[in-house]
Amino acid sequence: MPKRKRKPLIAESRSALDRFKTEVMAKEGYRTDTDQPDDIKYEVASERGIPLQKGYNGKLTAEQAGKIGGPIGGNMVKELVRMAQEQLKKQ
């Protein structure tokens, strides 16, 4: 797996974030691989007609990159909000 440039504030949370990403995106109907959680971006890119390739993608525009990462992160945030709302209802 390529080295990540972004790091979570708590390094030990990386594996939990990766599991969460695969769970959320699987619920959205995407094929996920728990061993390669970042590969979901290639499926999202393909679905949107964006030429994302493994390795260097410096020719992608910010708009194209946002169309890939936005749905992934957005779905994760929606699920976190839903989970928080459930917790608040229980109190």
pLDDT, position 9 = 83
First to last CA, the chain: 41
Q: What is the pLDDT along the chain (91 residues), one digit of tens a residue?
A: 455 566 778 888 888 999 999 999 999 999 988 889 889 999 999 999 999 999 899 999 999 999 999 999 999 999 999 999 999 998 8
pLDDT, position 46 = 93
pLDDT, position 14 = 87
- 2 Cβ neighbours under 8 A, 6+ residues apart: 38, 54
**Residue 32, both tokens:** 């996920």
**Residue 23, both tokens:** 């769970």
Every domain of the chain and the residues it spans: 11-90
pLDDT, position 1 = 43
pLDDT, position 3 = 54
Which residue shows structure tokens 């440039």? Answer: 5
Q: Among the residues of 28-61, which ranges form H helices?
A: 40-47
pLDDT, position 8 = 77
